[in-house]
Amino acid sequence: MEWLNFHHLRYFFVVAREGSITKASALLHTSQPAISTQLRQLERSFGEKLFHKQGRGLALTDTGGLVFGFAEQIFGLGRELLDTVRDRPSGAVPRVQIGIADVVPKDLAFRLLEPLLAGPVRARVVVHEDRHERLLTELALFHLDLVIADTPIGAGTRVKAFHHALGTSAIGVFGREDRVRGLRANFPASLKGQPFVLPLEESELRREFDAWARVRGIALDVAAEVQDDALARRLAAAGHGLMLAPTVLVDDLRRNFGLRKVADVPGVEARYFAVTVARRVSNPAVAHLLATARRELLRDKATGGVPAPRQPSRRRPGRVVRQPLA
């Protein structure tokens, strides 16, 4: 009886998705010769070539495309099997692996996760924080159940996944009470000459805020640029400058850091998405997190309502975005 080597199939699946052995090697932390050897063994077992050269990368043959389709289903079913076994009624608390993009505010992440720790659907939460792109890679390898980010799946993303819009929040300018006093009356002109603690220049929020200030002729006095929003809160609370934050966190910022809102930044908002491998979420803990976030988490207390999610394109939320092999 012939047996399929699923280890070889996993290597083939990653190479096919990434389009090159070099990229697959970096993701799998395995040498390129080792991957090449396993691919040759898989091709010998099938008696067919699975790849052919295309430019600097690899493209699937007709047989390779057929095998890739089956591999997607196999590993998807494997993930569903793990979820089902973990979540079966056994008295044990199910485990959910969640990736949170490093640009998502810590206060917001806390409010996202809290329902899983104290709500009716409890789960053992394992949190991984990293850059958005790295988390998507882990999601594609079935190491994560969910990724929470401030951007949807982009057109250039190789990962086959679905994004679920959670909602939006207005962005406000916050600062210590002695700093914000007098700034509300003549906003936004009052921001001129005020020091700011801002996100890094490559962040989407920073780009939007810079553009907003530039249109209004406000030359920003940047005292510090930080990647970690928790550090930005500390610096602002110490009086070193104003900062930006989602207005949905206005109560948390006042209570925990003594920060007061100057005003909303018109036209600048934060958007939040959950990314999953499957369109239909079967893990009850993940489904509960999504439902709670949409219903309660992103209710903007400053405006008293839930802002409608703004889609970045005409694609429907949840559509698969997959880039062909190069």
Q: Any idea where the domains of the chain sit in the sequence?
A: 6-84, 94-326
**Helix, strand, coil in percent for the chain, rounding step 5:** 40, 25, 35
Mean pLDDT of 259-287: 86
pLDDT for 325 beyond 90: no
pTM strictly above 0.75? no
Helices (H), the chain: 6-18, 21-28, 32-46, 62-86, 106-118, 132-140, 177-180, 204-215, 229-237, 250-257, 284-292
Q: Give the C-alpha separation, 284 to 95, whole Å.
A: 11
**pLDDT surpassing 70 at residue 44:** yes
**Distance in angstroms (rounded) separating the CA atoms of residues 192 and 206:** 17
- Mean residue pLDDT across the chain: 81
63 Cα distance to chain centroid? 34
The CATH fold assigned to 6-84 is Arc Repressor Mutant, subunit A (1.10.10)
Tell me: pLDDT of 72 over 60.
yes
In angstroms, the Cα distances linking 31 to 25, 136, 233, 322 are 6, 22, 43, 26
Instruction: Determine the longest span between alpha carbons in the chain, in angstroms.
Output: 81
Say which residue the tokens 């916050």 belong to: 174
Q: Is the pLDDT of residue 113 over 60?
A: yes
pLDDT digit string, tens, across residues 236-254: 999 999 999 999 899 999 9
Q: In this predicted structure, what is the pLDDT of residue 119?
A: 67
pLDDT grade, residue 255 (50/70/90)? very high
Question: What number is the average pLDDT over the span 23-47?
Answer: 88
Tell me what pLDDT residue 75 has.
80
Nearest to 258 by CA among 284, 237, 283: 237
In whole angstroms, give the CA distance from residue 126 to residue 173.
32
Average pLDDT of 80-97? 64
For residue 173, the one-letter residue type is V
94-326: CATH number: 3.40.190.290
